[in-house]
Amino acid sequence: MKNMFRLLMRHALFWPSIALVLLLAGSAAFNPAFLSVSWHDGHLYGNLIDILNRAAPLIIVSLGMTLVIAVRGLDISVGAVVAISAAVAALMIGGSFSADGAVNSDYPLWAALATALAVAAACGLWNGLLVVKAGMQPIVATLILMVAGRGIAQLLTGGQIITIYYAPFFTLGNGYLLGLPVALWIAVLTWVALHLLLSRTALGLFVRAIGGNPEAARVAGVRSSAITLCVYTFCGLAAGIAGLIVSSNVKSADANNAGQLLELDAILAVTLGGTALTGGRFTLAGTIIGALIIQTLTSMIYSLGVPPEVNLVVKAALVFTVMLLQSAEFRALVGRATRGTRATSR
Amino acid sequence: MNALMNRRLLPLAVTMALFVAMAAFGAFTYDGFLAPQVFLNLIIDNAFLCIVAVGMTFVILSGGIDLSVGAVIALATMISAALLAAGWNPYAAMAVVLVVGAVFGGLQGYLIQRFGLAPFIVTLAGMFFARGCCYLISTESIPINDATYAAIAQARIPLGGGASLTIGGLIALAVVVLAMRVAHATEFGRTVYAIGGGESSARLMGLKVDGTKIGVYLLSGLSAALAGIVMTFYMLSGYSLHAMGLELDAIAAVVIGGTLLAGGVGYVAGTLFGVLILGIIQTLIAFDGSLSSWWTRIVVGALLLLFCLLQRLFEGRTHKGA
């Protein structure tokens, strides 16, 4: 029994899960209705469902970010890509009123979605090319798109917030399927697809090998440039999907504010989930828990009536704590301190 | 040796040539572009960017990065405005702000140095923290009505021929001169270059690596606080959304100024020209009148790309040469 507990404690998902459960329990203690889920208008309804729905874009982006970080990279342009994808979709769908009052989309919905996703994937590919072919540091390579990306999105929308009137598009961010939010289904699908791809093929092993030691992986015959390119492209695509969900949710595309600071939340979610920022070790499930922790924290702060601005300070404190716990030097320091107190208590 | 010097000076030369070319383009295309005041305004309007970019130069030279500076500037404007609203002496308020900035930067440096944490992630958390603190002070913009601040904001230093400089612009230029001296004529400056060139070699050379690394972030925090004070002269208000994304502009200015992001190579003077180039892009777009402001971001992104590719080219050659 004790052994089992120790095994459990050593499991990568143990601490992130405990943090999430504690947060939920804390919220429930302050607000007993927090955990209640009911059936309303043909779908599930409640704070928990709301958290899952709102966390979906973050989960999707964070999954892409996890892989990028796993190959020793970083993508700080995801927020800008969200804005670009939303702008492209909004421009192509637009919505013109026909004579009988119905709203038509300018292009077929599937064409608009496909174009937006293709553009987002191209953004990711661009980042990947800069990292792999031009050999730039990932932060710098993606900084370029982070700076220019919002400019491009504003150029597309003409600096305006574009409102979308075409109702079928709203399903992505507001619709329900089998009682659960469509956005959640998309996030789950993304996760399952990635999980199967990484655990049922050698791809997961390759990604770990590249992150563990890029040079050794290359010598061992792993096609690291091609895989790294794919990973960045997927991260762009993930940001694109998130952009569609976000713009569908607010029924508009705002080049200035869509996906603002999302890159930071995504990196935070990945770190909280237990993926090493130094690359090599990653966990997709951990990332999802990390994203849920962030969203639960936000919802909890709102529901407690604390000014939402406190959120930033709490997030910062969280990052500092997690970073210190991951640092070997800090563990050594704490280890010495606890051993010291044990010695004196004896 | 001569060839090495040339390689190091080449990015700086490219930056200066680019600035001159842009100024020449402006002079040919638009009437009244070549007036001295247009160029002085580049410094006046970008004084806070210049100060914070100089601090960032040291961080990047040491091989690190500081993403918290924009948020620290906002915090500085908030603390100034809040203290003045509470009836503090303006100079005491400025001193408090500078101390807060230095302590903030120093703490980040301590975390980075002592626990071997990634500078990127520490300063990212620092950015969250500083912006959060701004919101804790107030979510609204706080106006500054202090007489001393207003006097400083309106003061103009005549330079002859009708051209003039503000106190903020003067501070920015003084910071540049001081930083050039620190970078090239002090033990601290040379240690920063050595750490950027190779931390373990610097340590083996017996240089004070630990203290210098913390000092670099302390300096960056201090310069961000000073930039915040200069910004309050410019805006006469404290607001938590001031200087949003300014850290990116500062990094862009440093990179465009020819400093290698890998650390070890670069000049403070280059950063000044980087800031001037960012400024002249905005001025050109303003003179044109038909281009929208978001073109600024796209052009800055393109320039960043250009200079990063250029850097890779130089790095490749340096390695082959070595």
CB B15 within 8 A of CB B256: yes
A72 touches B at CB < 8 Å: no
One DSSP character per residue, B151-220 reads HHHH-EEE-STT-EEEHHHHHHHHHHHHHHHHHHHSHHHHHHHHHHH-HHHHHHTT--HHHHHHHHHHHH
Token pair belonging to B282: 């905005």
Q: Which of A69, A309, A314, A315 to mutate to test the interface with B (most CBs of B within 10 A)?
A: A309
Cα–Cα distance for residue pair B212/A205, rounded to 1 Å: 40
CA distance B147 to chain A (A): 31
A146 touches B at CB < 8 Å: yes
Cα–Cα distance for residue pair B130/A251, rounded to 1 Å: 32
Q: Which of B305, B313, B315 to mutate to test the interface with A (most CBs of A within 10 A)?
A: B305
pLDDT digits (tens, 9 = 90+) for A161-178: 888 877 778 878 777 888
pLDDT per residue rounded down to tens, chain B (322 residues)? 455 556 677 778 888 888 999 999 988 888 888 888 888 889 999 999 999 999 999 999 999 999 899 999 999 999 999 999 998 899 999 999 999 999 999 999 999 998 888 888 889 889 889 988 998 888 888 888 888 888 888 888 888 777 888 999 999 999 999 999 999 899 999 999 999 888 888 888 888 889 999 999 999 999 999 999 999 988 888 888 787 778 888 998 998 888 888 788 888 999 999 999 999 988 888 888 777 777 888 888 888 888 888 777 766 555 433 3
B188 touches A at CB < 8 Å: no
B147 touches A at CB < 8 Å: no
User: Is A316 close to B129, i.e. CB distance below 8 A?
Assistant: yes
Q: Residue A277: its chain B contacts at CB < 8 A?
A: 118, 121
The pTM (predicted TM-score) of the whole model is 0.83
